[in-house]
Structure 1
Amino acid sequence: MDIHDRVKIASLLSEYGALLTDRQREALGMYVEMDMSLFEVAEELGITRQAVLDAVRHGADSLQKYEDAVGKVALKDSLLAELDRIVATDASYKGVLEKAYRILEG
């Protein structure tokens, strides 16, 4: 899993993590957000490396399915990019758009 995959999964985990099993959420959080190895996650959770790999794969697949169905992360990213473009184009809206940006960032 490269850095772009990790960033994407971390974003999806932030939005849809509550929909995963506890094991998937824990394993993905440690693996993606804390940058722990599969071996380190396995030791921490007291499970096998293969069980961690399965939890990470299934969890990531589930997150992507949720995003495909709902599209919240893609919409949020698009809105943030558009706000950046508007602020760069016309500074007179900067204050209002920065507030909108903070709201979207949550």
Structure 2
Amino acid sequence: MKSAHDIILKPLITERSSAEAAMGRYTFVVAKGATKPEIRQACEQLFGVKVTAVNTQNRLGKNKRLRYRQEGRRPSWKKAIVTIDQSPEAVSYLTAGGKTVQSDRKYKTAIEEFGIGQ
């Protein structure tokens, strides 16, 4: 079993990802072999948030020219866009006996490590 730190490598901070972070969508560089359920569990474990969706992209490395007409390639990498639940309202429901039970949600609504609070 991979640890959460082996799955999520670093946040990807760009102008677009900063704008999406205000809407609850956070972008990370993840391990190439990581699956969507593994990314979901790692985010929930590391940041204490409830993940509602995970989208992934495999990005190809760029071609780079070295000296004397040699060409190389930067390594390929994987990007994950994680959407978190931003509505921490308590949920109430009826049990079999007819009682109303209210459950509190015990998770955060933002990832403070990004530096964008709500």
When normalised by structure 1's length, the TM-score is 0.28
Write 1 or 2 for the structure with the bigger share of helix.
Answer: 1
As a proportion of its length, which structure holds more strand? 2
